[in-house]
A and B are shown apart, each in its own frame.
Chain A
Amino acid sequence: MIEYQKIWANTRYEIITLLRGWFFRIFAGLIIIIFLSINIMFFSGALPFVPRLFAGFSAAIPYANMIMLNISQTAIIIFMASDFFKRDRKYNTAEVFYIRSMSNSSYLIGKALGIFILFAALNIIVLAIALTIHLVFSETSFNWVPYILYPLLIGFPAFVFMIGLSFLLMHLIKNQAIVVLLLLGYYAVVLFYLYDKWYYLFDFIALKLPFAYSDFIGLANIKLLLLQRGLYFSLGMVCILVSILLFKRLTQSAILERLTIIGIIFFTVIGMYCVPNYLQFFTDRQLLRSRMAILNKQYIHQPDITPLSCKIDFYHLGESYRATSHYVFQNLSEAPQDHYLFSINPGLRVDKILRDGKSLKFEQENHIISINSDRLLLPGFMDSIQIHYYGEIDEAACYLDIEDFEQQNTFSFWLYQSARKHAFIEDDYVLLPPESLWYPRPGLPPGANFPDRTNRYFIPFQLDVHTNSDLTPLSQGTRTIESPGHYRFLSDYPLSDISLILGKYEKESIQVDSVEYNFYHLSKHDYYKEYFSQIGDTLTDLIREVSQDYEVRLSLEYPFKRLSLIEVPLQYYVYPKIWTVAQEVVLPEQIWFQENAATIAGADFGRIKRSMDRRLDRSNQTLTEVETQISVLKTFLNSTFCGKVMRGLRVGGPSSNYQPDYNIFPNYYTYVTFLKGEEWPILNTALEAFLSDRVHETEESGPIWRARGLTAAEEVSQALSSKSLAEYLTTMENKLILPEMIKQKGAFIIKILQNELGPEVFNAYFSRMVDQSKFSQIDFNTFFGGMPLRQNFNIDSYLHSWYNERVLPAYQIFDVQFYKVYDGDRIRTQVKFKTFNTDSTDGLMEVSFQYSSRGVGFGMGAAYQEIIPTIYRLNGHQSKQFGLLLDEEPRALDINFLLARNLPLVYTKRFEKAELDKNKTPFEGEKVITGIDEITPSYEIVMDNTDDGFEIFNPPFNSILKQWIHNEEEDTAAVIYDRIQWWNPPHQWRLIKSTTFYGTYVHSAYYIRPGNGSKYVSWIAPIETAGIYDVYAYVFNKEDFRRRRRDRQGISFGDYTYLVHHDGGVEEVKLSVDAAQYGWNFLGSWYLSAGEAKVRLTDESTARFVIADAVKWVKN
C-alpha cells in the first residue's frame, strides 16, 4: 500500500530538478558563504569585540545558526514549494508520469520529500560549518544535543508548515505569483508583528520561542515548546493531506483516499489539542497570580508570628519533593492569636500539620495556609508546629508584583531566547531560591505587605537533605554528611532565608583569612582555567585585596564564614524587587551566575586580555603573563561583584533585557541586619538602597556631549515635584522609577544625618551598629537613640516631611569664583559660590570637584572625583555663600542638588587655569547672605524657553515617508528632554538641558539642525513702558561643546539669524556665535511701544546646530 519505491522515484527526480535549477544553487551558495562568514566572525574569536554571550553557552552556536537559517530558508521554501505545481502545469510531459500506477500521495509526498531532503542537506552543511568552528576555535563547551534538537524542533515544523501551506494555496489559487505574494506577506506580518502576540502562538519560525538549551537541564518548558511546534507540524500535515485530496489527478486507491481523510482528521485533532493547552499554561498562571494577589490583600492585616527557629527535612523525589518544616515561633504582637498564617508555594500541598504529634486543623488556599491553633497564643508566648507538605514548584507564584510576567515568557539577548525560570526541580537538578516559597514561611510572602509592612527575621536554620548521592547539595551553613545521600546544613548564624541547590558540580576552593571561597561549576565549564593558569599562588592576595578595597568603600566587613560562587542554569531569571536591592542571584553566602557566565561581560576573559594588550601596545608598555592574568581577574571581580564600572564593558551584552546585579552588597547588609521601624517601614529599604549605591559606580556624570535626556535622579526629582513618596508607594504607580526614588530618598535622609554629624562620624556609627546587630534586627529607636545628634534635632519631623512632602527645593547658583590665594604661606585654590533656595522647602547639596590626572582643563587626561563630597544644607528661601580651599587645582566643580527641581540636577562649572590673586583672603565654610532674591532688575525683561511667552514652530513634514523616517513624536503635554547629539541634531526643535544654558534652576534650551529658515522659535514678552530697549541673546559656553583638544581650534559654531520686531518693522540680525561671549550678547537697540516685544530665531545658520535659549530686553 505504501509505495516506497514510487515515493523515492518522485523524490529523487525532484531533488535532481531543483539542484539543477539556478534558483536553489544561488541560494545554497549564498547561504554557505554567508554562514561561513558569520560563524568565523562571531564564533571563532576572530573579531575582538564580540559579546561574551556568543560563546557563553554551549548551544549558542547551533541556536544562532538555526534561527538565522530558518528565517532565510522559509522565504525560499515558499518559492520552491509553489514552483513544482507551476512546473507540472508547464511541462506537457508530466502527463506520461500521471498515467503511471502510483497514488497521488506517493506523488505529492515524493515531491515534498525532495524539497525537504534538499533543505535538510543545506541545514546539515550549515550546522557542520558551525560544528567545525565550535570544536576547533570556540572555547565554549560542546554539547551535541542542540545540534540534533534544533533542526528537529525549530526547522522541521516550520518547514512542514510552509510546504503544506504553499501546496494548498497553489491548489486553490493556481497562480504562483499570487501565492508567493500572499505567503511572503503572511511571513512578514508574523516576523514583524504577530510573533509575540498571544504568547508567541503565531511564531511559526520559532524566532521568539525560548529555545536556549542549558547543559544543566536542557530545554526549559519542553512541553510548552512541543505544543507550539506540534501545532505547526500538524497544520502543515493537514495542508499537505488536503492538497493530496485536491490534486488534479484521478485517484487510484480508495483505501489511501480514506487514509488521507483520516490523516486530516487526526492532525486537525492534534492541532486543536495543542492550541488550548498551550494557551492554558499562560491563562492558568494569570489566574493563579490574580488569586494570590487577592488573597494577599485579604490577609494583609493578619498579625505575624515571629519565627525563632526552623528545621527542614527535605526528600528529593525526582520532579517533586516531600518535606517537613518544624517551626518554633513567638507571638510578639499585642493581641493573642488563635490562627497562624503561613505562605507556601501553591504547587505544594500541605497534607498535615502537627503539634507534639497531634494534628491541627488547617486550610490551604493557593499559597496561604491558615492554621487553626486549638488554643490561644498569648503575647510573648511561644509555640511550635510541624508542617508536612509535598509537590512541585509553581513558578507563577514568584514575583507577584511584576506586571509583564505573563507577557514575557522569555528573556532575550540578540537572537537567543531563554525561558524565564525561577526554580528547578528535576531528577538530576534542583534549584530552590527563597522567592519560590519552597518551604513555608510565617505570614505573607516577602514584599506582599510593602510598603505598609516590611520585615526580615533572622533565625537559625537546620536543613536535612535526602537525595541521590551523586548530586552535590548546596545551601547556607556548615554541611555534614550524615550518610550516603543524607546531608545536613546547620546555619552558622541566624539567617533570613535559605536556598537549596542539588546538582552535579565540581568544586574549587580557597581559604583567604577567615573566609572560605568556593566555586561550583559543571565539570566541562572550565574555560576560565587557561586564563588564570599562572596565578594560583597569588590568588589569596588578590582576593584579599579586592575584598578589602570593597569593605573600605562600604565601611562594613564580610560577616560570613564562606562565600560560594555557584553556576546555575541559563534559564534562571530574577527580577529586581522594590522593597530590597537584593536580587536572588545574591543570597546569604552565595552568588549564583548563569552557566559559563554567559551574560557577564567581565567574564569574557579572552576579550579583556586582548583589549588590555592593545592598550599596552598603544602606550608602549608591557606586562608579564602573570601580571596580565592578575589584571584580568581583578577586572572580572571588581566589575561583576564589586560594582566598579570598567571602561568598555557592557554587562549583559547587546539588546539584552537581563542585567542582574551580582554586587555582593546584600551579604554585607541585607542578609545581616534590618532596620525595623513600625512607623517608617520604608526606611530600611531606603537605607539599603543608599548603602548599595556607595559600591555601585555609574556613568551618569560626563561632559555635555555624553549627556542623556534625563538622568534617573532627575526623573525622580521631577516625579517628586508633584507627588510625595508616600503617595507613590500607596498607589505603586510609576514602578519603573520607584526603586530609584527610594534610593534617592534614602540617600537624602542619610546625607541629612551625615551633614548633622559629619560623614566620618556617621559612617563609623553606622558600621558599629551593623556590627553590633549582626544577624538580628536593629530597632529604630535604638538606632536613632544612640546617634550623637543635637538635642533639638527631631528625626521624626525630618522623616515625616521626607515621606509626605510634595514640594522640592529649587536652587540658583551665582557668582562662582575660582582663583589662587595665600593661605598662610601656602598657595591654595579658592572656590566660592553663592546659592539661593527659591523654595520654602529645606534642602541639601553635595559639593565635589573633578580633578585631572594631567593638569587643569578638559581634555587633560582622565577625570576622577574626590571620594567624599561635602554636604551643605540650605533652608527654604535661604541664601548662602560657600567657600572651599583646595590643595589641588580642580578642573570642574560639581554641585549635586540631590532632590530638587533643578535641571540639570548636577550643576557643573568648568575651570581653566586659576590665577593668583594676592589681594584676596581665603574663605572656607559657609555664611548666610541676604539680598540676592531680587535677581532680575525691574528694567530688564528676561524671557527664557521655559517661560509662557516662548513658542516653537515645527512645520509638519510634507510627506508621510519623511514623517516615518524621522520618527518625530507628536507634541504631548509631557515635557520630554532629548539626548544631546550635537553631531546629529534633530530635524525639529528638541528640548535639552545643561548647566551651560540660561535658567534660574532649570537650565534648558532647544536645539535643531540648521535649515532654510522655515523653522523658528519666538520669545514674546509684554512691554509695559514704551522706550528704547537694548536686546540681548543668551549664548552658551562654547567650551562645553568641545570634546577633544583638537576641537578647540577646529569646530565652528557659525552664525545665528535673529529677527527682532520693533516699531519700525522687523530687522534681521546675524549673531556670530564664534565671536560671541558666554552669556548675554548684544543684538541692537530699538524703540518699542507698550504692548508686546518679539524676537524670533530661525534655523537658518551655517553652524552644525542652532540653540535657542533666552533673550532679554533692557530699557535704556
Chain B
Amino acid sequence: MKIQIQNLSKIYNGSKPALDNINMEINSGLFGLLGPNGAGKTTLMRILVTLMKPSEGSVTIDNFDLQRHRKEIRQMLGYLPQEFSTFPKIKTWEFLDYSARLAGIKSNSQRSQLVDKYLEQVDLFAARDRLASKLSGGMKRRLGIAQALISDPKILVVDEPTTGLDPEERIRFRNLLTEMGQEEKIIILSTHIVGDISSTCNEMALLVDGRVGFKGSPAELIKQAEGYVFEIEARDNDLANIQEKYAVISTIPSESGWKVQVVAKNTGQYLSQSIDPNLEHAYVHFIEHHYDTDIKPDVMDLDFKDD
C-alpha cells in the first residue's frame, strides 16, 4: 500500500495556507506525523479521510485518486478524530454495530462477533449496554479506537489516539498498532506524545507551517540532534536564566540543584555535558533550528468545519 501526496495545498478563505505544497509518500507500516499546533496535521488527515477537499494537488492511494474514487478509498478507511466525546443516544455496542453496518458488514452474526471481539480488545465488554455518552473519557477513546478498527481498514488514521489513556492502556494500544503495522496496512499516527512515535513508527514526518520540515525515520531525526543536547548542572539562581536562554527539555532536581536538559549549540558559561539525544530532543532541536529562536511561529486560526 502506498499513499502518494503531490503538491498538496489547502487554503482557507484567503488566509495563509494551512498546507503548502506538500509532497510525500507514505508506505505500509506505521507513519508518525509530528508538528506544533497549527502545523497542518489535522488538515492533512481530514483531506486523507475525504472529509475535506484540497485546494490544490492530488493524493493517490494505490492508484485510486482521492477526488474520483472516494467510494473505494472510504471502503479502506478507519478514522479516529482528535475530538471524540459527544454521542447520540445509542449504546456502546450499538455504536460499534452502526459503524460496522456502515462499513459494509452485512451479516448479522459476523457483525455481532466483531462487535464483541473489539469490545473485548479495548476492554469495554462490561460496558457494552451502557449509553456511549455515559462512558468516561478514556473509555470513549477506546471506543473510538474500536470503531476505527472494526472495519479492518487498510488505512487507519488516528489523531491523538492515546489522549486520556492510562499508561497500561497506552502500552496496549501501541502494541496493537505495532501488530497492525506488520500487515500490509498504512497507519498514520498524529500525536503530541513523542513516545508514541518513537516506540511504534518506522517513518515519520514533521510538519511546520504547512510544510514538510522533515521526513524520514525517527533515528535520522535523532541523529540531526547529536551534539546539540546537553545536561547542565544548575544552581537555583541559574535556573531562570537557563530557561530563558535555552530550549529546556527537562528539569530534574539533584543534590546540588537541578539537572537541566537543554537543546542548544553550546551552553556558554554553564557547566554541562553532551548527552545522546532522543526523539523528543530531536523534535525540539528541529523546531528551534527551524524558527531560530528569535522568530516566533505564526499562530494560524483554522476552522476545519467549513470547506
Binding site for B on A (CB under 8 A): 5-6, 8-10, 12-13, 16-17, 20-21, 87, 90-93, 95-102, 248-253
Q: Which residues of A contact B98 (CB under 8 A)?
A: 9, 12-13, 97
Contact of B102 (CB < 8 Å), options: A102, A248, A249: A102
> Would you list 9 pairs from A and B whose C-beta atoms are within 8 A, ordered by A residue?
A13-B90, A20-B89, A92-B85, A96-B81, A97-B99, A97-B102, A101-B102, A252-B74, A253-B71
In whole Å, how far is B68's beta carbon from the nearest beta carbon of chain A? Answer: 8
In whole Å, how far is A202's beta carbon from the nearest beta carbon of chain B? Answer: 36
Binding site for A on B (CB under 8 A): 49-53, 70-72, 74-75, 77, 79-81, 83-90, 94-95, 98-99, 101-104, 106, 144, 147-148, 151, 307
Check B103–A100 contact: CB distance below 8 A.
Answer: yes
Contact of B89 (CB < 8 Å), options: A6, A16, A98, A251: A16
Contact of A5 (CB < 8 Å), options: B94, B99, B104: B104
Check A251–B70 contact: CB distance below 8 A.
Answer: yes
Known contacts A16-B94, A102-B102, A248-B307, A21 near B70 by CB under 8 Å = no
Contact of A91 (CB < 8 Å), options: B79, B86, B103, B104: B86
Check B147–A96 contact: CB distance below 8 A.
Answer: yes
CA of A95 to CA of B99, assembled, Å: 11
Contact of A99 (CB < 8 Å), options: B79, B86, B89, B90: B79
Check A9–B89 contact: CB distance below 8 A.
Answer: no
Contact of B88 (CB < 8 Å), options: A17, A95, A249: A17
Q: Which residues of B contact A17 (CB under 8 A)?
A: 88-90
Known contacts A17-B88, A20-B89, A250-B50, A95 near B94 by CB under 8 Å = no
CA of A16 to CA of B90, assembled, Å: 7
Q: Which residues of B contact A248 (CB under 8 A)?
A: 307
In whole Å, how far is B6's beta carbon from the nearest beta carbon of chain A? Answer: 19
Known pairs A97-B102, A251-B70. 15 more at Cβ < 8 A?
A: A8-B101, A9-B101, A16-B90, A20-B89, A91-B87, A95-B81, A96-B84, A96-B99, A96-B144, A96-B148, A99-B74, A100-B74, A101-B75, A101-B102, A250-B50
CA of A20 to CA of B87, assembled, Å: 13
CA of A20 to CA of B134, assembled, Å: 14
In whole Å, how far is B102's beta carbon from the nearest beta carbon of chain A? Answer: 4
Q: Which residues of B contact A20 (CB under 8 A)?
A: 89-90
In whole Å, how far is B250's beta carbon from the nearest beta carbon of chain A? Answer: 34
Identity of the chain A residue whose Cβ is nearest the Cβ of B85 in the assembled complex: A92
Which 6 A-B pairs give the minimum distances between C-beta atoms? A9-B101, A100-B102, A101-B74, A252-B70, A20-B89, A252-B71
CA of A249 to CA of B50, assembled, Å: 9
Main SS at interface, chain B: loop
In whole Å, how far is B44's beta carbon from the nearest beta carbon of chain A? Answer: 15
In whole Å, how far is B224's beta carbon from the nearest beta carbon of chain A? Answer: 35
Identity of the chain B residue whose Cβ is nearest the Cβ of A101 in the assembled complex: B74
CA of A869 to CA of B264, assembled, Å: 127
Q: Which residues of B contact A10 (CB under 8 A)?
A: 102
Q: Which residues of B contact A97 (CB under 8 A)?
A: 98-99, 102
Check A95–B51 contact: CB distance below 8 A.
Answer: yes
In whole Å, how far is B215's beta carbon from the nearest beta carbon of chain A? Answer: 25
Identity of the chain B residue whose Cβ is nearest the Cβ of A13 in the assembled complex: B98
In whole Å, how far is A1005's beta carbon from the nearest beta carbon of chain B? Answer: 68
Q: Which residues of B contact A92 (CB under 8 A)?
A: 81, 83-86
Q: Which residues of A contact B106 (CB under 8 A)?
A: 5
CA of A5 to CA of B98, assembled, Å: 11
Looking at B70, B83, B151, which has the most chain A CB atoms within 10 Å of its CB? B70
CA of A90 to CA of B305, assembled, Å: 12
CA of A251 to CA of B70, assembled, Å: 8
Q: Which residues of B contact A102 (CB under 8 A)?
A: 74, 102
Q: Which residues of B contact A93 (CB under 8 A)?
A: 84-88, 95, 144
CA of A226 to CA of B155, assembled, Å: 51
Contact of B79 (CB < 8 Å), options: A12, A95, A252: A95
CA of A727 to CA of B89, assembled, Å: 76
Q: Which residues of B contact A16 (CB under 8 A)?
A: 89-90, 94
Q: Which residues of A contact B101 (CB under 8 A)?
A: 5-6, 8-9, 12
CA of A96 to CA of B75, assembled, Å: 13
In whole Å, how far is A113's beta carbon from the nearest beta carbon of chain B? Answer: 15
CA of A90 to CA of B87, assembled, Å: 9
Check B147–A21 contact: CB distance below 8 A.
Answer: no
Q: Which residues of A contact B151 (CB under 8 A)?
A: 100
Q: Which residues of A contact B83 (CB under 8 A)?
A: 92
CA of A101 to CA of B50, assembled, Å: 10
Identity of the chain A residue whose Cβ is nearest the Cβ of B104 in the assembled complex: A101
CA of A102 to CA of B77, assembled, Å: 12
CA of A568 to CA of B70, assembled, Å: 64
CA of A98 to CA of B49, assembled, Å: 9
CA of A858 to CA of B106, assembled, Å: 86
Q: Which residues of A contact B49 (CB under 8 A)?
A: 99
Looking at B77, B79, B87, B102, which has the most chain A CB atoms within 10 Å of its CB? B102
CA of A97 to CA of B307, assembled, Å: 18
In whole Å, how far is B97's beta carbon from the nearest beta carbon of chain A? Answer: 9
CA of A249 to CA of B74, assembled, Å: 13
CA of A981 to CA of B53, assembled, Å: 75
Contact of B50 (CB < 8 Å), options: A5, A9, A87, A99: A99
Q: Which residues of B contact A8 (CB under 8 A)?
A: 101
CA of A252 to CA of B99, assembled, Å: 18
CA of A10 to CA of B49, assembled, Å: 20
CA of A102 to CA of B101, assembled, Å: 11
CA of A100 to CA of B90, assembled, Å: 18
Check B88–A87 contact: CB distance below 8 A.
Answer: yes
In whole Å, how far is B172's beta carbon from the nearest beta carbon of chain A? Answer: 21
Identity of the chain A residue whose Cβ is nearest the Cβ of B66 in the assembled complex: A250
In whole Å, how far is A1074's beta carbon from the nearest beta carbon of chain B? Answer: 71
Q: Which residues of A contact B85 (CB under 8 A)?
A: 92-93
Looking at B52, B75, B81, B147, which has the most chain A CB atoms within 10 Å of its CB? B81
CA of A6 to CA of B80, assembled, Å: 20
CA of A1108 to CA of B50, assembled, Å: 84
Identity of the chain A residue whose Cβ is nearest the Cβ of B89 in the assembled complex: A20
Identity of the chain B residue whose Cβ is nearest the Cβ of A90 in the assembled complex: B86
Check B77–A99 contact: CB distance below 8 A.
Answer: yes
Q: Which residues of B contact A13 (CB under 8 A)?
A: 88, 90, 94, 98
In whole Å, how far is B190's beta carbon from the nearest beta carbon of chain A? Answer: 15
Q: Which residues of A contact B75 (CB under 8 A)?
A: 101
CA of A99 to CA of B48, assembled, Å: 10
Check A96–B51 contact: CB distance below 8 A.
Answer: no
Identity of the chain A residue whose Cβ is nearest the Cβ of B98 in the assembled complex: A13
CA of A100 to CA of B99, assembled, Å: 8
In whole Å, how far is B65's beta carbon from the nearest beta carbon of chain A? Answer: 12
Q: Which residues of B contact A98 (CB under 8 A)?
A: 51
In whole Å, how far is B118's beta carbon from the nearest beta carbon of chain A? Answer: 14
Check A91–B88 contact: CB distance below 8 A.
Answer: yes
Identity of the chain A residue whose Cβ is nearest the Cβ of B49 in the assembled complex: A99
Check B84–A250 contact: CB distance below 8 A.
Answer: no
Q: Which residues of A contact B88 (CB under 8 A)?
A: 13, 17, 87, 91, 93
Identity of the chain A residue whose Cβ is nearest the Cβ of B151 in the assembled complex: A100
Check B102–A6 contact: CB distance below 8 A.
Answer: yes
CA of A6 to CA of B101, assembled, Å: 7
In whole Å, how far is A233's beta carbon from the nearest beta carbon of chain B? Answer: 29
In whole Å, how far is B216's beta carbon from the nearest beta carbon of chain A? Answer: 29
CA of A16 to CA of B101, assembled, Å: 15
Identity of the chain A residue whose Cβ is nearest the Cβ of B87 in the assembled complex: A93
Q: Which residues of B contact A90 (CB under 8 A)?
A: 86
CA of A97 to CA of B104, assembled, Å: 12
In whole Å, how far is A788's beta carbon from the nearest beta carbon of chain B? Answer: 94
Q: Which residues of B contact A101 (CB under 8 A)?
A: 71-72, 74-75, 102-104
Q: Which residues of A contact B99 (CB under 8 A)?
A: 96-97, 100
Known contacts A21-B89, A101-B75, A96 near B80 by CB under 8 Å = yes
Contact of B51 (CB < 8 Å), options: A9, A12, A250: A250
Q: Which residues of A contact B104 (CB under 8 A)?
A: 5, 101
In whole Å, how far is B266's beta carbon from the nearest beta carbon of chain A? Answer: 47
Identity of the chain B residue whose Cβ is nearest the Cβ of A14 in the assembled complex: B88
CA of A97 to CA of B147, assembled, Å: 10
Q: Which residues of B contact A87 (CB under 8 A)?
A: 88
Known contacts A6-B102, A13-B94, A96 near B53 by CB under 8 Å = no
